[in-house]
Amino acid sequence: MQDLDRFLHSLRVLGHDVILGGDFNESVEDKNSGLLSLAMSHQLIDVFLHRFPRYSEFGTHMSGKRRIDSVFVTERITQSVTAVGYAPFDFLTTSDHRPMFLEFQCDKLFGKIPLDLQPLSTRGVKTKDTTMVVRFVNVTYQKLQSYQ
């Protein structure tokens, strides 16, 4: 937490916004939570709690009952979040943690509308071509795994 605190401080001093996510192995609701202290000292907002302040307790680790996987953002970024949530265990890959999803409104986040996509006719993967979709997902997954 001390290393993370120093790193966040260096970013905030320069005026950077922050998106911080991870498996923190503690909850902001824990007694004497270092995570809560870190978030408060850098004015970071728990995006899930911001959107769902009265959620029912659930565990983000398969053997737990607490939300130990979280994403924190600065205020400006909070305004661009359009959706947030947790998926079921083993949703995209085998894991003992739930994946967390955030969706952003790009023009609010980056200050401009993103470039238009290529026309459908020139795209390499068409969603109706199940063979190509499976191939795309497998190749992408293998590529992501090679970066670990």
pLDDT digits (tens, 9 = 90+) for 73-122: 999 999 899 999 888 887 777 888 888 888 888 888 887 765 666 676 66
Cβ-Cβ contacts under 8 Å for 97 (sequence gap 6 or more): 23, 60, 61, 62, 69, 89
Beta-strand runs (E) in 38-99: 45-46, 69-73, 81-86
Quote the CA–CA distance of 42 and 50 in Å, as a whole number: 16
DSSP letter for 26, please: S
User: What are the phi and psi torsion angles at 107 (to 5°)?
Assistant: -65, -35
| Residue 26: alpha-carbon gap to chain centroid | 17
Q: What is the pLDDT of residues 41-78, one digit of tens each?
A: 999 999 999 998 888 888 888 888 888 889 999 999 99
pLDDT in tens, 14-37: 999 999 999 888 888 888 888 899
